[in-house]
Chains A and B, each alone.
Chain A
Amino acid sequence: GQNIDQPTEMTATEGAIVQINCTYQTSGFNGLFWYQQHAGEAPTFLSYNVLDGLEEKGRFSSFLSRSKGYSYLLLKELQMKDSASYLCAFVTTDSWGKFQFGAGTQVVVTP
């Protein structure tokens, strides 16, 4: 079957680094996405990985290992505005648009 897991909550200090892990199980894996969702707002797209390795976008980086069914999102130089829920989601080869989302990791940034 299909499954996706990520931690419920993480707390880190402003200026620090936080790594949010995501593990998944599926057949026909065809890419993994990361989204940011502030309370009361819509999720916004952060990154996409389909090949193994690290993708860097400014303060945010995302890593994928297909053989391990594992991804992480790395947030560097944390700012208070980074306090949000971070969702990982995968898609499979049978449909581009059917995203399977994790429950989200609530990141709390403290002063």
Chain B
Amino acid sequence: SAVISQKPSRDICQRGTSLTIQCQVDSQVTMMFWYRQQPGQSLTLIATANQGSEATYESGFVIDKFPISRPNLTFSTLTVSNMSPEDSSIYLCSVQLEGRRGSPLHFGNGTRLTVT
């Protein structure tokens, strides 16, 4: 397994501002992902954070709204830009330790974001 440290753990932000969430892993990993979990709903993949290249975004998510950095194999950030109350959610960083079939995702503890 891996230790995945995510911060901040929670924040309350005003509409129109931006928040950057950090994810630090205690070992080098190839695959890092950012998920969103809205209240009572499933985890939805926002994007795959690629080291050395732009992130790959899922349908419905765009780089201008959710810019992602991946400067090395142990660290990534997700920024939620120009926030609105609809962005209130839990944001989760996850990693896959092995790039093979059956390798599970391991999650950080999440960032609980409330936008007022």
Contact = CB atoms under 8 A, between A and B. Distances in A.
Contacts of A91: 101
A43 B107 contact: yes
B45 interface: yes
Given A43-B43, A104-B42, A96 B33 contact: no
The contact size tier of chain A is: 20 to 34
B102 to A, nearest CB: 5
A50 B108 CA distance: 25
A5 to B, nearest CB: 10
B96 interface: yes
Contacts of B44: 101
B52 interface: no
9 contacts: A4-B42, A41-B109, A42-B4, A42-B107, A96-B96, A96-B101, A97-B48, A98-B33, A103-B41
